[in-house]
Amino acid sequence: MNNLRPFQIILLGVFGLFGIIGLIFFGFYRGGSDALPAYAEGVTIWGVLDERVMRSTLSELEIENFERVEYIQKSVASFNLELLNAIAEGYAPDLIVLPSSEIVTHRAKLFSFPYESFPERAYRETYVDGADTYLFVDGVYALPFAVDPLVLYWNKDMFASNGLAEPPRTWEALISNVVPALTRVGSDNNISRSAIAFGEYANVLNAKSILSLLFLQSGTTIAEENIQGAYEITLGAREQEGLPPAEAALSFYTQFALPSSASYSWNRTFASDRSAFTGGILGMYFGHGSEYGVIERANPNLNFDIARVPQGTTATAYRGFGTFYAFAIPRAASNPDGAYAAMQILSGAQVAPQLARAFGMSPVHRAVIAAGTTDARAQVLYQESLIARAWLDPNSIGSATAFRAMVEDVTSGRSRVGNAVEDAIARLQLLF
């Protein structure tokens, strides 16, 4: 080194500086849409969505290196524990399919994109409003690709046979016209045919989603993050006049299971609302859009259709409920660069709509929805996707238990509606 001339020392220094810059550049650069990095050793995705559908859709995509993207289906019951164990033991997946109901549960485990690199305005202009469930004060935690909105399935033959030409568009019409026309209740309070399966929890498959819908329509966001980054329960928010929103929604829901109510149309003697609907003894079933194929296969002879969920007559801003699905990167991912490249493609406006359709859901890109569709069923899903909302669920299993207790405390007579709501709020606060 002592024999080197000044010029040689300067030249070596320059090359060394460029080497350092190169390392930094390649360590952080992820490229644009024309220069996505290779998937290296491959990308592994975990999720609870159907493996056959996901793999079939991925195999149809003519994208370079996509044969190195593998999807593995996990059960709903074990997913959270398996992910936690995988992170602890060092074999975490590179991407996960994240339902909106699980974002709070997994938030601390996920990589986030600060708004400096992914502007909030760009996100909101790209996706429908309900997709903002993945936005937090410190950034974007996932990129959505689909929403599974709650819709109204209705038995066209049952409606027509009782002089009804169309499904109800408002809750008021449902109570005043549809319930009396379709429900058959004997003198012993035995229900031989029902218009709607509201009021109970155990035999209503989507009871939590239905209650979420009613709460959101009543004006409460149920739970949200404040500007300080803390979670708040808004379910108990009160207005100056009338019943508090949550109490009004719970009172509306439970009336259908009370024999003393004029709207009595459901009780615990039924196995489940979906089986009653496919069996032809339930006029309306509130289910998610992805259930269409399940219902069709259960009874190929059932003459049914889907419609938008009813709204209040005086509603000025329509609200729906849906489960959103997004791709997120665990902090412990072994191939984060490959995961980022795959996520960009899978959540993009070209591929994401294909995934949404394959699962019987709606896309979430505003541009795709604005372009419209000629599929009659998809049109309903598109419309519902624009008004669908989710909420920050602290723990999907724990909140389901809280919602069930809230309903059954009222229908059993153990609590008044107001007390049942207060108890549910307390349970949700403990979960946070």
Same-domain status, 298 and 331: no
Q: What is the average per-residue pLDDT within 65-88?
A: 90
Q: What is the average per-residue pLDDT within 207-222?
A: 96
Which amino acid is located at 145 in the chain?
Answer: F
pLDDT tens across 109-161, in order? 999 999 998 899 999 999 999 999 999 999 999 999 999 999 999 999 999 99
- Considering only the C-alpha atoms of the chain, give the largest distance between any 2 of them, rounded to a whole number of Å: 109
Same-domain status, 328 and 289: no
* Sign of the four-CA dihedral 26, 142, 110, 55: negative
Same-domain status, 99 and 155: no
Q: Is 314 helix (H, G, I), strand (E, B) or coil?
A: coil
Residue 16 lies in a domain: no
Same-domain status, 257 and 166: yes
Q: What pLDDT, on the 0 to 100 scale, is given for residue 65?
A: 66
Terminus-to-terminus CA distance in the chain, angstroms?
62
Residue 20 lies in a domain: no
Query: How many domains are contained in the chain?
Result: 2
Asked if 392 contacts 136 with a C-beta cutoff of 8 angstroms, the reply is no
For residue 289, give both structure tokens.
């859009």
Given the structure tokens 């992914």, which residue do they identify? 118
Residue 4 lies in a domain: no
Q: Reply yes or no on whether the pLDDT at 37 is more than 80.
A: no
Residue 163 lies in a domain: yes
Same-domain status, 119 and 188: no
Q: Is 419 helix (H, G, I), strand (E, B) or coil?
A: helix
Higher pLDDT, 76 or 67: 76
64-94 residues labelled b (16+ CB within 10 A) or e (exposed): ebbebbebebbeeeebbeebeebbeeeebbb
**Which of 55-59, 65-69, 250-254, 289-293 is predicted with the least confidence, judged by mean pLDDT?**
65-69
Asked if 342 contacts 39 with a C-beta cutoff of 8 angstroms, the reply is yes
Q: Reply yes or no on whether the pLDDT at 294 is more than 60.
A: yes
CATH number at residue 352: 3.40.190.10
Residue 70 lies in a domain: yes
Same-domain status, 266 and 154: yes
For residue 214, give both structure tokens.
């009613």
Same-domain status, 112 and 130: yes
Q: Is 418 helix (H, G, I), strand (E, B) or coil?
A: helix
Range of the domain at 218: 149-321+392-431
Please tell me the distance from the alpha carbon of residue 349 to that of residue 340, in angstroms, as a whole number: 16
Q: Residue 133 belongs to what H/E stretch?
A: none
Residue 228 lies in a domain: yes
Whether this prediction's pTM lies above 0.85 is answered by: yes
* Confidence at 32, pLDDT banded by 50, 70, 90: very low
For 24-87, give the DSSP string: HHHHH----TTSPPP-TT-EEEEESS-HHHHHHHHHH---TTGGGEEEEE--TTTHHHHHHHHH
